[in-house]
């Protein structure tokens, strides 16, 4: 996975230096040659700095790209920056490792997004408990719904994928338990409620 991601980042840096944002980064637009070279394709949705002020003959009534990979700020406000492509990349990394998506987007597909709260991250370790928490934190930061909370450079994201980031780990430990592992907390609560219901039924049955 790191080998693929490293090459994707090289391509995205070329876009960044040219003042461009891909805006439709997803698995279908990443091609791997028989020699193992990764190539980004489909530049039809690329945003170019300096051309945004020019009124296009084709108005975009809704954001282009796949909602499963597209950044929230683009869906909600039509804003596309470097961190928007980073979001898409982080989602792809998550998917490569788990064969699943970090966000459940059913409601967004049905009625559209209303706020960044529509993007609720599912811990990587829920699918792959064998993977370290620090890797999960790196990916979670990369696809954070708030672009200001993401890594501010591709190099930061890459470094976070290579080794534990002490700042991310400290920040995680300071979170409330519900935010650290919401899935496990709700499982415990549900189990506790089930025990209560069973106990009440037992006492009612025995008088």
Q: How do residues 115-151 score in pLDDT, each as one tens digit?
A: 999 999 999 999 999 999 999 999 999 999 999 999 9
Residue 67's SS3 state is: coil
pLDDT at 190: 67
176 vs 178, residue with greater confidence: 176
Q: Which of 44-53, 100-109, 136-145 is the least confident region?
A: 44-53
pLDDT at 60: 54
CA atoms within 13 A on the CB side of 32: 9
pLDDT (mean) for 49-60: 58
192 vs 119, residue with greater confidence: 119
pLDDT (mean) for 69-94: 95
Is pLDDT at 188 greater than 70 in this prediction? no
pLDDT (mean) for 106-110: 78
Q: Give the bridge partners for 159, in sequence order.
A: none
pTM (2 d.p.): 0.79
Catalytic residues: 24
Residue ranges of alpha helices (H) inside the chain are 2-17, 72-77, 82-98, 106-111, 133-142, 154-162, 166-173, 177-180, 182-206
Residue 187: closest CA among 176, 178, 196? 178
Q: Are 4 and 38 in contact (CB under 8 A)?
A: yes
pLDDT (mean) for 89-116: 90
- Collect all residues with Cβ–Cβ distance below 8 Å to 38 and sequence separation of at least 6: 4, 7, 8, 11, 30, 31, 32
Q: Give dist(CA 30, CA 42) in Å, integer.
A: 9
pLDDT, tens digit (0-9, with 9 covering 90-100), for 64-79: 557 899 999 998 998 8
Q: Are 157 and 90 in contact (CB under 8 A)?
A: yes
What's the Cα-to-Cα distance from 85 to each of 11, 72, 167, 170, rounded to whole Å?
11, 11, 23, 26
Dihedral (CA of 68, 99, 117, 194) sign: positive
Is pLDDT at 81 greater than 50 in this prediction? yes
44-68 burial, b if ≥16 CB within 10 A, otherwise e? ebbbeeeeeeeeeeeeeeebebbbb
Residue 39's SS3 state is: strand
Q: Which DSSP letter does residue 29 get?
A: G
pLDDT at 57: 41
Is pLDDT at 86 greater than 60 in this prediction? yes
Number of Cβ within 10 Å of residue 81's Cβ equals 16
């Amino acid at each position: 996975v790191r080998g693929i991601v490293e090459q994707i980042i090289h391509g995205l840096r070329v876009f960044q230096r040219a003042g461009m944002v891909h805006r439709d980064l997803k698995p279908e637009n990443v091609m791997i040659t028989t020699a193992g070279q990764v190539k980004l394709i489909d530049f039809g949705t690329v945003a170019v700095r300096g051309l945004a002020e020019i009124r296009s003959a084709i108005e975009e009534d809704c954001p282009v790209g796949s909602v499963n990979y597209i950044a929230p700020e683009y869906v909600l406000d039509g804003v596309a920056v470097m961190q928007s492509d980073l979001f898409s990349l982080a989602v792809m990394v998550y998917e490569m490792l788990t064969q699943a998506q970090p966000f459940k987007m059913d409601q967004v597909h049905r009625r559209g997004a209303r706020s960044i709260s529509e993007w609720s991250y599912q811990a990587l370790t829920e699918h792959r408990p064998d993977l370290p928490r620090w890797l999960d934190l790196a990916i979670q930061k990369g696809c954070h719904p708030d672009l200001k909370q993401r890594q501010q450079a591709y190099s930061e994201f890459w470094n976070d994928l290579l080794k534990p980031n002490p700042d991310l780990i400290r920040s995680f430990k300071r979170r409330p338990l519900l935010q650290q592992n919401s899935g496990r907390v709700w499982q415990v609560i549900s189990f506790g409620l089930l025990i209560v219901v069973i106990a009440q039924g037992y006492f009612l049955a025995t008088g």
